Each structure stands twice: as C-alpha cells, then as structure tokens.
Amino acid sequence: MTTNNSLSPHGGALVERVRPLTASTAASVAGLPTIPIRDQMATECVNIAYGFFSPLTGFMGSADVESVAAAMRLGNGLVWPIPIVLDVPHDELRRLGVQVGNTVLLTHQGNPLATLDVSEIFSSDLTSLAQRVYGTADPAHPGVQRTLNYADRFVAGDITLVCEPVINPPFDRFWRTPRQLRSELADANWLRVVAHQTRNVPHSGHEYLMKGAFMEARADGVLVSAVIGEKKEGDYIDEAIVLTHDHLRECGFFRDDIHRTTALMWDMRYAGPREAVFHALVRKNLGCTHHMFGRDHAGVGEYYGRYAAHEIFSELPDLGIQSVLTLEWWYCPTCGGVAYEGICGHPDTKQDLAGRLIRSIISGGTDPAPQTLRAETLQVVQRCAQQYGFGSPFVTEQYLSQRTPVMTIPAPP
Ligand SMILES: [Zn+2]
C-alpha cells in the first residue's frame, strides 16, 4: 500500500469554517445574544473552524456525545474518541433567552470569536459520561475532573469563526492551520510524515524515539506536534517545549529537511488509549501518515495499561494514519549509550531517562551527562526560564497569571 500526504483528512474533507467580519458585516453580529467562553472552548472553536478536528463542524449534540462515549464513534459511524462539547449554565441560557434555532455570538477576551447556530440544548449525566470516556469516575483523574466541572447544559451546533486569532511569539513560528501545514509539507516533498506528540523538553530518550520512528516508518520527515494548552504547576512552560525541540534541528541533530516543530493548541484530557486515537486523528488532519506511540501515551497515574495506547489500534478499522509503536529508550552503561528496550540485553542495569532525572538536572544546575540531556537543550531551557518563565522553566503561579497568552483575539474592524 502506498502512503503519502495526499491522505485525506478524517471523514474525507478538510473542514474550514472561517468568515472574518468586515466593516460591513460586523453590524450583523452586533445584536446576537453573546456568550463569553473560556480558554478551552476558544481554542476548540479555533480547532473546529480550521479543520484540526475534521469532520466536526461544531460542538457535538447528544446523539454524537452518547455514541462517542459508548462506541468511540460519531453518529455517522466515523471513529471519534473524545466528546467535544460547549457547556453553558442553564441560568445563563435562560437569561439570554437562547433557544434551538437561534444564532449566538461566542466571545473571548471581550471580542467576537465565532457564531454558533444552536441545534440542540441538552444535559448529560456527567459521572456516567466520565466513566465511559475515561474508564473511571475517579475525580482525581484530571479528565474526569474536567468532565465533572462542566456546567449543567451543553449547547450544540455548527460554528463559524468570525475573528481569526493572532498567535503570539514564539508560537507564531510554529502554529499552522491544517491547510497551511499540508501545503508546506507538500512543498517540502514530505510524502511520509511521522508525528511525535510531546509536552516535554526532549531528553535523549525522546530524540532516539524520533530517530527510531523516522527509520521504522521510512519517513521523509518527523513532525513534532507540541501540545500547547492548559498548564498545571510543575509542567514545562510551553515556550521551552517548542524552542528546545526546534533547537535539535538548529543544531543539526536532525537535518533541516527532515525535522519540523509545530504547535497544537489542546487541553490534555489524559484519556490514555482514547486520547492516543484522538492524537492520531488530529495529526492525520495535519497531513501526517504515521504517528508514534510510546509507553503510557497520554495516560496519567495508574489508570491505563503501560501499552494500552498500542493495543487500542488493533481493535480499530483502518484509520488511514498508521501507528508506529515504540518501546522504551534508556541509558545502558554496558552498551555505553542510549539503548532500545527491544535490543539491549541489560535491562537489570538500565538507567531510566525518566522525567524525574531530567528535572533534577534542570533544577539542580549540574551539567547533564551527554547521554541524558544535551547541553544545547539545557541552554535553551535556561534561556526560556529567563525570557518567558519568570526565572523557572516550570510552570509557576506567576507564569499562569502573567504569561503572554498563546493567542489573542483581535477587536473586529
Ligand atoms: Zn545494554
């Protein structure tokens, strides 16, 4: 079977629902009922409108939500693992007099973002929804908590973006719409593209993961797709994630023509295997033909099996995008370097390249061994701490309250 980046978006066509307001059309939305939406909903609006979430054309109705929760499929039969919903309190809907058939204006940062044609207003048993999507209703699971925190109504309907977001530096260099990225990958003649999902500063385990997957997929390029979104204290700051990955290419650890870093705005659900499927579908929409999955992909705590993300793909029909399943890379003193779980015969003396070790190097100010974290990477981390992190490469309260937002919604003309 030949695979190339003419691979169709999920569902066959790239969704694009963007119609920016002009001086003459701004008045047409001015009188609509207005619903301010928070960061998560704003980025999901943007993702729907540019086709990151193709084939979704808006926020889901009850039939899709039920079908996704029960069977990991949309009502039309297409695989889809995670509900994409807009929650609004019943009181607010009543105050605004919003009813099915109305068009409402969704605003963010005080400016118009999108119109929504209301097709359904419904409620859902949130505990049951969480149990089915996450396999647990434990509120200690961050995705469950996110679900339980939804307001008491969901508003479904197609959305149309009326103001295009401005992506702020340094993310403007890395964020591309699916149409833009597909076009650039085609120009670069990347027919086979393997995606690397990340929320980390790359240590040598990540670097070799990419190199191994590049060879296994016989890829033309590695697309680093950094998830930029809601943060909790102790996470790496978003700026450090994209800039360190790109620096691997700048330093020539990956050739210029085979490595590219991009940013995807998404608030992680930590849904383990279901999120692995979601990541694959979004990267398919971006033009990737392959997606790498390692140990405990998008998991949290002990909720999912170590390789549950590997197993789920065997139960799915052909999604078009192919999974590249990787075991662990570790440091082996006997082999004398970074070694692969599937090759190295010294598992008893392996040294995990775990996040904790890397964090202690970054926090402790000691020079890392070249086998763990590259000095070039550490320099970028330290620069990002000063430039963006108020002195720390990890998310702090100050970073959460004072950072420059990733995107700004400009005022309409
Ligand atoms: Zn070894």
What are the residue boundaries of the structural domains of the chain, listed by start?
A: 26-163, 171-408
Report d(CA 20, CA 92) in Å as an integer.
27
Question: Beta partners for 196?
Answer: 224
Q: Is pLDDT of 7 > 80?
A: no
Distance of CA 306 from the midpoint of ligand 1 (Å): 22
Task: Please provide the average confidence, as pLDDT, over all residues in the chain.
Answer: 93
Report the largest interatomic distance among the alpha carbons of the chain, rounded to a whole angstrom. 71
**Scanning the structure block, which residue is given the tokens 């505990």?**
127
Residues within 5 A (CB) of ion ligand 1: 332, 334-335, 339, 344, 346
C-alpha 337 to ligand 1 mean position (Å): 8
**Could you tell me the distance, in angstroms and rounded to a whole number, from the CA of residue 248 to the centre of ligand 1?**
25
- The pLDDT, as a whole number, for residue 81 is 97
Question: How far away, in angstroms, is 412 Cα from ligand 1 center?
Answer: 60
Residue 365: predicted pLDDT: 61
Alpha carbon of 348 to ligand 1 centroid (Å): 9
Task: List, in sequence order, every residue forming a beta bridge with 161; answer none if it has no partner.
Answer: 18, 114
Band (pLDDT 50/70/90 cuts) for residue 298 is: confident
How many A from CA of 290 to the centre of ligand 1?
28
Q: Quick one: average pLDDT of 250-266?
A: 98
Q: Percentage of residues in the chain with pLDDT exceeding 70? A: 96
Mean pLDDT of 395-402: 95
pLDDT for the residue numbered 1: 36
Average pLDDT over residues 325-354: 89
CB-count burial class (<10 Å; 0-12, 13-18, 19+) for 391: exposed
pLDDT band for position 355 (cuts 50, 70, 90): low
Class of domain 171-408 (CATH, top level) = alpha beta
Sequence length of the chain is 413
CB 389 within 8 A of CB 399: yes
Strand partners, 221: 193
Considering only CA atoms, which of 186, 42, 158, 155 is closest in space to residue 109?
42
pLDDT at 368 over 70: no
Cβ neighbours around 374 below 10 Å, total: 20
Residue 329 CA, ligand 1 centroid: distance in Å: 11
Active site residues: 198-200
Average pLDDT over residues 157-169: 98
List the beta bridge partners of residue 105: 34, 115
Confidence of residue 6 (pLDDT cuts 50, 70, 90): low
Of 63, 61, 48, the closest CA to residue 11 belongs to 48
Classify residue 244 as exposed, middle or buried by CB count within 10 Å of its CB (0-12, 13-18, 19+). Answer: buried
CB atoms inside a 10 Å sphere around CB 365? 8
Which of 10-14, 163-167, 294-298, 322-326 reaches the highest mean pLDDT?
163-167
Q: pLDDT of 220-240, one tens digit each?
A: 999 999 999 998 888 999 999
pLDDT score recorded for residue 316: 86
Same fold for the pair 26-163 and 171-408:
no
The pLDDT value given to residue 5: 46
Q: What is the pLDDT of residue 3?
A: 39
In CATH, what number does 26-163 get?
A: 3.10.400.10
Confidence category of residue 320, pLDDT binned at 50, 70, 90: confident
